[in-house]
Amino acid sequence: HCYPFLIHKTKALLSIPYPQNQGKHTHLAFSEIRTKKLFSKSSGGRVGAKKVVVMITDGDIDDPDNTLREAKLLENTGVSIFSVGVGVTNTELLEALASKPENVFTAVDFVMLDYSKNHLVQTICNK
């Protein structure tokens, strides 16, 4: 059963501030999820629920080596990573970061990503 993410979480997601011009520290995000056990029951995780991280990026990551290392460490905890590239993307890096090749999605811009979000959500929920 797929949790109705879009219905209940959109408002919270839209309220997250986006730091402008501070770099892209994807490796720190992966590390934070792993070390703080954000999928654990004590963090609100549900027993038996899928553990999924959807990374939306332009493919230009500041520290690709550390990001790849942290992605693999996160995967080792049972988390599936989906890579979504928007705009001009480094497809090779997206594929390396995703848990599986079929976990990579691309869109030419955010408008096209919006059009394909239902497909993305259904794909994630059916994995």
Q: Would you list the DSSP string of the chain? A: ----HHHHHHHHHHTS---TTS---HHHHHHHHHHTTTTSGGGT--TT---EEEEEE-S--S-HHHHHHHHHHHHTTT-EEEEEEESS--HHHHHHHSSSGGGEEEESSHHHHHHHHHHHHHHHHT-
**Predicted confidence (pLDDT) at residue 33 exceeds the cutoff of 90:** yes
Can you tell me the mean pLDDT for 29-35?
Answer: 93
Confidence of residue 1 (pLDDT cuts 50, 70, 90): very low
Mean pLDDT of the chain: 83
**Predicted confidence (pLDDT) at residue 116 exceeds the cutoff of 70:** yes
The pLDDT value given to residue 105: 93
Confidence of residue 65 (pLDDT cuts 50, 70, 90): very high
Residue 74 lies in a domain: yes
The pLDDT value given to residue 123: 86
**Enclosing domain of residue 75:** 25-37+49-125
Residue 102 lies in a domain: yes
More confident residue, 125 or 127: 125
**Are the CB atoms for 27 and 66 separated by under 8 Å?**
yes
**Predicted confidence (pLDDT) at residue 12 exceeds the cutoff of 60:** no
List CB contacts of 120: < 8 A, sequence separation 6 or more. 54, 82, 84, 105, 113
| Domain tally, the chain | 1
> pTM value?
0.80
CATH for 104: 3.40.50.410
The pLDDT value given to residue 103: 94
